[in-house]
Amino acid sequence: MHSITEDEKDIIKRLTARLPPTPPAEPDWSDTSSISNEEAELDGFTQKPPAFPLPPPTNPPQEILDIDSKTPDAHVPRDARLIRLTGVHPFNVEAPLTDLFNEGFLTSPELFYVRNHGAVPQVEEASLFDWEFTVEGLVDRPFKISLRSLMEDYADQIITVPVTLVCAGNRRKEQNMVRKSKGFSWGPGGVSTALFTGVPMSAIIAAAKPTRRARYVCMEGADKLPNGYYGTSVKRNWVQDPNRGIMLAWKMNGELLRPDHGRPLRAVIPGQIGGRSVKWLTKLILTESPSDNWYHINDNRVLPTMVSPEESAADPSWWTDDRYAIYDLNSNSAIAYPAHDEVLPLSTRAVETYDVRGYAYGGGGRRITRVEITLDKGKTWRLAKIDYPEDRYREALENTNLYGGRLDMFWRETSFCWCFWSLAISTDDLAASADIMVRCMDEGLALQPREMYWSALGMMNNPWFRIVIHRENDTMRFEHPTQPALMPGGWMERVKKEGGNLVNGFWGERMGSVVDEEQVMPEIKEDIKMTKDGIDRIIEIDELRKHDTEEEPWFVVDGEVYNGTAFLKDHPGGAQSIISAAGLDSTDEFVAIHSETAKAMMSSYHIGSLSEVSQSILAEGSSDSSGSNTSRPLFLDARGWNSAALHSKKIVSWDTRIFTFQLEHEEQLLGLPVGRHLMMRLKDPDDQQTVVRAYTPISEQTTPGFVDVLVKVYFDTTEQKGGKMTKALDQLPVGGRVYFKGPIGKFEYLGKGLCSINGDRRTVREFRMICGGSGITPIYQVLRAIMQDPNDGTHCTVLDGNRLEEDILCKDELDAFAAGNPDRCRILHTLTKAGDGWQGLTGRIGENLLAETCPSPYDDNHEGQSDTLVLICGPGALEKTAHKVLTGLGWKDDDLLFF
């Protein structure tokens, strides 16, 4: 390693022009009036910039996440919001769809999707510009060139262009719900857009003087994988076609590439699947035939739909037929709003129309020319409005300079980027419909299909995107098809559990016996044998723990023990994928991620069965086998589960308990901000199904070593079954373990009236808090933080509804807050079955009580948000009633927050 020279410092200074000023949260892309001429000059503009989109706010992560600390990627800081699709390692992620969509046309590097096959190559800062790649093969003048020389020798050809990259697996979770493919479960967030700065690849190829026989450009990266370095190829005539825009880039949104995105140099292939845009580029090889790289042959293909994973594994000829390789993207669209589980009121005083919004993209430079919405399963269609932010760059002057590169867009007709569409639909029409579906068409008249084309790799999934509408009293709730990775939810999962047929082309509905019997897929094998005949060895927990090692990792799937040592070198995701599972029960992630082919291979690694006692211990996660890092200051992890043992259980009433869990060490803090929640996971003792629920602890955020969770237990009655989670917790013995993950939730109280809602800060003067039953716990958390701070002048009114007086949770604490802070705290209890001695309010929380406690805060000239915020948490009926009444009183949805 050597220190950075003055020349290199000068290069860095010149090539990392600072980002433009941060645009507003809801940017008006036509407004660049805030950018001064001086700022424009510093940012490399030749004049005051025209009205094209600028990058969203960026907050580069600085710290290594705990989940990455024991992997080969321990040098890469990452954003904790990203959804991990393949466990701990390798890093394959997408952003939550709403977060991605809300960033606008350009995506910040921290939320840009990532597809890594293995470890991220580590490049020291001092040697960044010494990075070299070769141009070789069928060329007359092979050469090697450094990044420094590339930027200097081709300085007059440096360009900046907006490009949308899309993983070929985008929306694959929908295919995996029909039948498990060989790929992991992407949601609709495997798409992102950025401004890339670099040089046309054609200029580099031309300098090497290709021979006439050279028909393909092969690319190879520095990411060393089980089957060699990652590589692929595209046709040479594509590279030489300026309309294709193929380039080598070192900047993304005006800053040097970050490690996950190819630092320091990558290929960018607009209009084609992301797998062709090789990261950490080390070689360009001119060849007569397509790449023979293992990853080019065995990945990024759409095999015929009748070819099963087993057949494709048995017959290699399917993979060597280049007709099935994927290059150009297909036409695709998705709905971002309504979001999954979004609730829309049907009150006549609520919004009369709703803007349904989403994205669409085409491939090969073809523009999306129409987006259509149907509310009746395709019988009739409505034309959506399309916005093409990409076109604003074409309006820039010819010599406009952006981030050190010429904005190379004014002459182009090809479309490199996604577009946004919207359609205002009356709430009456939505309420009368069962679902919303979208399809798009490109300028080549390629239409997004109605039905899914399932294939062994699950790629290029693009049937109509469907959202189900549920009518629930006076509201509508919207349900997306799936949620990414292992996240539960979505109508496809629900329909499958209910026995619906997802492959009949009618979204699980029963349309008649003929259709029901049709199968567009090969017959699915119900049971795949994953064990080896003749193996009767019983393995105890202590022996399993001895193999929680990198040298000989054992792991458990469905109670069977497997030795992953022999597969360490060959695993497509790298050795770390197996090492991370060592000593653990990996059933959930294994089943969700791996294909039928992978399951069939497992018998080769089967070594025995875990004893029943050991299975119980492993499921509970005993305190000395958690494998956690006891030096971690915070217990919670937003992307991973950690277990804690039940320390004690306090019976508050006949149906209410306080469960105290012991964290990993006595100084460890829970790590839950005020107003946020956590997820709890355990096995139902009756049927051994995994149960996950959200809770808000009642213990102080500053309490080390322990966490208290107040739970109302819902027992079975003659009329209905009780609550799975609450009954399972009530049966949990002291010492039993529960898994936790978090924080979750969109609200956070920062103190002195300052809140954060979905990342947007807001100051409030007063809270009105409406709750019922165990819904008091998140309310209590916020109220306590306010009342314990004598310098916090925020006023709080709590309306707490219960059945009986003994049902009131935290009553002494709530009343103490009111008594100690009479000028800023008011507590109102109301009972539906009050005893004779009850002195408080009676009746359900309805129109009268809400009108008294929550009168409209607005005057006649009010615009925007109020300085009063209503927090609501309780049973569904309470929340629906409160929403209906409050909107009827004139409250705006922006001032109502449902926990």
Roughly what angle, to the nearest 10 degrees, separates helices 811-820 and 776-787?
Answer: 30
What rounded mean pLDDT belongs to the chain? Answer: 86
Which segment, 35-49, 393-407, 734-748, is predicted with the most confidence on average? 393-407
- pLDDT mean over 698-719: 88
Extract the runs of DSSP E, i.e. beta strands, from 513-615: 538-539, 554-557, 560-563, 606-610
Side chain identity at residue 28, one-letter code:
D
Range of lowest pLDDT (83-92, 168-177, 342-351, 846-855): 342-351
Res 529: pLDDT: 86
Q: How far apart are CA 796 and CA 830, in angstroms?
A: 17
What does the pLDDT read at residue 899?
76
By C-alpha distance, which of 499, 480, 498, 478 is closest to 488? 480
Q: Which of 79, 299, 408, 730 is catalytic?
A: 299
Report pLDDT for 350.
62
DSSP 723: -
Binding-site residues for Mo-molybdopterin, in ranges, read: 167
Q: Which residues pair with 606 in a beta bridge?
A: 562
Query: What local confidence, expressed as pLDDT, does residue 97 receive?
Result: 97
Q: For position 135, what pLDDT does the model report?
A: 98
pLDDT, tens digit, 9 for 90 and up, residues 147-180? 999 999 999 999 999 999 999 999 999 999 998 8
Quick one: average pLDDT of 851-870? 77
Nearest by Cα to 84 from 106, 116, 119: 116
Query: Could you report the per-residue pLDDT of 24-71, keeping only the tens digit for each?
Result: 333 333 333 333 333 343 344 444 445 799 999 999 999 999 889 889
Query: DSSP 3-state assignment of 685?
Result: coil
Query: Which backbone phi and psi does 877 adopt, to 5 degrees?
Result: -65, -40
Q: Classify the C-alpha dihedral 180-182-185-187 as positive or negative.
A: negative
- Residue appearing with tokens 């955020």: 701
Task: Assess whether the previous peptide bond of 855 is cis (omega < 30° from 0).
Answer: no
Question: What are the tokens at 134?
Answer: 């070769």
Q: What is the DSSP letter of 4?
A: P
* The predicted structure's pLDDT at residue 251: 98
What pLDDT, on a 0 to 100 scale, did the predictor assign at position 40? 40
153 is catalytic: no
Cβ–Cβ under 8 Å, residues 843 and 849: yes
Residue 862 confidence (pLDDT):
52
Q: Which long-range contacts (CB under 8 A, 24 or more apart) does 144-148 make?
A: 145/204, 147/250, 147/264, 147/265, 148/8, 148/11
Whether 520 shows a pLDDT value over 80: the answer reads: no
Is residue 373 a contact partner of residue 382, using CB atoms and an 8 Å limit? yes
648 CB-near residues (< 8 Å, 6+ apart): 660, 734
Per-residue pLDDT tens digits for 612-641: 877 877 765 533 334 444 478 999 986 568
What is the length of the chain? 899
The CA distance from 467 to 478, in Å, is 6
Residues 234 and 327: beta-carbon distance below 8 Å: yes
Look at 746 and 214; give whichever has higher pLDDT. Answer: 214
Please, which residues bridge with residue 228 across strands?
225
Query: Rounded CA gap, 683 and 632, in Å?
Result: 26
- What is the end-to-end Cα distance of the chain in Å, rounded? 52
Digit-coded pLDDT (tens) for 659-686: 999 999 999 999 999 998 888 888 877 7
DSSP for 157-195 reads: G-EEEEEEEE-TTTTHHHHHHHS--SS----TT-EEEEE
Res 42: pLDDT: 38
- In the chain, the domains with their CATH numbers are 332-489 (2.60.40.650), 538-620 (3.10.120.10), 642-744 (2.40.30.10), 747-898 (3.40.50.80)
Given a contact cutoff of 8 angstroms between Cβ atoms, the answer to whether 228 and 294 are in contact is yes
Candidate list 92, 102, 253, 300, residue with the active-site label: 300
Task: Tell me which of 486 and 570 has the higher pLDDT.
Answer: 486
pLDDT at 693 over 60: yes
Contact indicator for 562, 554 with CB cutoff of 8 Å: yes
300 belongs to the catalytic site: yes
Q: What is the pLDDT of residue 860?
A: 56
Binding-site residue positions:
167
Tell me how crowded residue 81 is: count the other CB atoms within 10 A of its CB. 16
* pLDDT at residue 893, rounded to an integer: 86
What pLDDT is stored for residue 502 in this prediction? 84
Task: Look at residue 87 and tell me whether its pLDDT is greater than 90.
Answer: no
Q: Which residue among 68, 73, 79, 167 is the active-site one?
A: 167
Q: Would you call 796 a catalytic residue per the annotation?
A: no
The segment with the largest mean pLDDT, out of 231-235, 593-597, 617-621, is 231-235
